[in-house]
Amino acid sequence: MASPEIRIPATHYPVERFTLPNGLRVVLSPDRSAPVVGVSVVYDVGIRSEPEGRTGFAHLFEHLMFQGSANLEKLAHFRYVQGSGGTFNGSTHLDYTDYYEQLPSNALERALFLEADRMRSPRITEENLQNQIAVVKEEIRVRVLNQPYGGFPWLRLPPVMFDTFPNAHDGYGSFDDLEAATVENATDFFERYYAAGNAVLSVSGDFTVEEATRLIERHFSDVPARPAPARPDFGEPDLTAERRSSYTDALAPLPAIASAWRVPDPVKDLPGYLPYVVLAEVLTDGDASRLVERLVSRDRVATSVGGYLGFMGEPFAVRDPTALVLSSHLPPGGDPDKLLTTVDEEIARLAQDGLAPGELHRVQARIATHLLRDEDSVLNRALHLATYEIQRGDASLALDLPRQLGEVTAEQVTAAAATLRPERRASVEVVPGGDQ
């Protein structure tokens, strides 16, 4: 008996957009259900924008943006947000950098002032630069060099799949490149990429559009106008032959392997891209998924399997080129070749035999549930709206994405599976190097 068809509706909440004369794009989404606001500023610059010889610079600059600004001493941003009962952070991604706060709604103006002040003029000094170079180097030591599976697979797999510097280089950066950074480099980076015309400000939560617009104009209108830089084309050809690499990790207790296949452009070809988002969940999401059931539960050639879109696991916040990634940890003495062969068998079976009754609808419901739950947070909503606006010029995609994913067909998913052929695959293997 065929499973009943499900329909996932678009969500409905207000989204208002306008642009200031200096080029800053603004997205507002009022929600008066709780006295909280989320504020996000997203700049259209990320790891892929770093020039050669400046690996890790986008992340380093993110740290510098917290070291004081035109009217604020070092650590003042921390003190004012936390003193208001709020939280804050920033993060660097392949294609963008974001800064954000979540605060009680009566502190909205404070958050806007803080973001405008550092958009206007961060304190880029030799002391701050050297201090943050040391901080970033320590972060690399803790999270990559002295961590089992550090950088696996998000740092290790792109250089296997890609040939060009923007797509293949280490986004954390080499110590040599970080230590060579100068105040002049940082100032040039700010002038080029941190223009109002290269940013989106998003506010979600407990406010009125009239109030927020007045406050935004008060604090951001006098930020100097600078045009957004021309964005390079980071595209490169798909693989025509399988690529595979391995490295020894002295801290890893067990072998691991990750593979990736190129997928359609997530911005220019969203309808062609969405079936791969669903496919990744069909293959790896939950105990009933294809690869977890076969690799972990039945054959026991893996102890864990994960699948996602984008090397940093951000399916809707990345530009082309990107990939569907499958990552597995193996038991002691596990055979990576056997695992890859089994993965190929399962993908081929899915492409040939199609989905089981109810399988697609179960996965679509899970994806929609995760998306809708994420949007409940005013901070997540602000972040998503800003990212969609800066990458697609369409913040309202946040409302329609669950519906679009719900309209992906079984035929589209099986057609996507048929493209995951070995000759299009790049893989990187972790070889345990410690005492076994």
Strands 36-43 and 16-19: unpaired
* CB-based burial label for 361 (10 Å; 0-12, 13-18, 19+): middle
Tokens of residue 72, six digits = 């604020």
pLDDT of residue 434: 65
pLDDT of residue 436: 43
pLDDT above 50 for 3: no
pLDDT above 60 for 2: no
Q: For the sheet containing 323-329, what is the strand order? A: 243-249, 425-432, 256-262, 323-329, 304-309
Tokens 């595209």 identify what position? 235
* Pick from 434, 411, 402: nearest CA to 248: 434
What percentage of the chain reaches a pLDDT higher than 90?
93
pLDDT of residue 1: 37
pLDDT of residue 11: 87
Tokens of residue 361, six digits = 């609808």
In the DSSP assignment, the letter for residue 328 is E
pLDDT of residue 5: 60
Helix, strand, coil % in the chain, rounded to nearest 5 = 45, 20, 40
Domains and CATH numbers, the chain: 16-220 (3.30.830.10), 243-432 (3.30.830.10)
Q: Over the stretch 253-295, which tens digit does the pLDDT of each residue have?
A: 999 999 999 999 999 999 999 999 999 999 999 898 999 999 9
Paired with 329 in beta bridges are 256, 304
Report d(CA 51, CA 270) in Å as an integer. Answer: 29
Q: Over the stretch 398-435, which tens digit does the pLDDT of each residue have?
A: 999 999 999 999 999 999 999 999 999 999 999 998 65
> Stretch 234-252: mean pLDDT, rounded?
97
Task: State yes or no: cis peptide before 153, omega within 30 of 0.
Answer: yes
Cα 172 to chain centroid, rounded: 15
Report d(CA 60, CA 175) in Å as an integer. Answer: 12
Q: Over the stretch 115-166, which tens digit does the pLDDT of each residue have?
A: 999 999 999 999 999 999 999 999 999 999 999 999 999 999 999 999 999 9
Of 185-189, 210-214, 342-346, 367-371, the range with the lowest mean pLDDT is: 367-371
* Pick from 433, 427, 436, 339: nearest CA to 160: 427
Report d(CA 195, CA 193) in Å as an integer. Answer: 6
Report d(CA 110, CA 79) in Å as an integer. Answer: 11
Tokens of residue 357, six digits = 């009754």
Helix ranges (H only) for 285-409 are 290-291, 336-353, 359-375, 378-392, 397-406
pLDDT classification of 6: cutoffs 50, 70, 90: low
pLDDT classification of 8: cutoffs 50, 70, 90: confident
* CB-based burial label for 240 (10 Å; 0-12, 13-18, 19+): exposed
> Which residues 6+ apart lie within 8 Å of 69 measured at CB?
77, 114, 117, 118, 120, 121, 122, 123
Higher per-residue confidence, 24 vs 376: 24
Paired with 323 in beta bridges are 262
User: Is-contact 400 274, C-beta < 8 A?
Assistant: no
Q: Over the stretch 79-111, which tens digit does the pLDDT of each residue have?
A: 999 999 999 999 999 999 999 999 999 999 999
Report d(CA 66, CA 76) in Å as an integer. Answer: 9
Q: What is the CA radius of gyration of the chain?
A: 23
Tokens 């997530």 identify what position? 266
Q: Does residue 255 sit in helix, strand or coil?
A: coil
pLDDT above 60 for 4: no
pLDDT of residue 355: 96
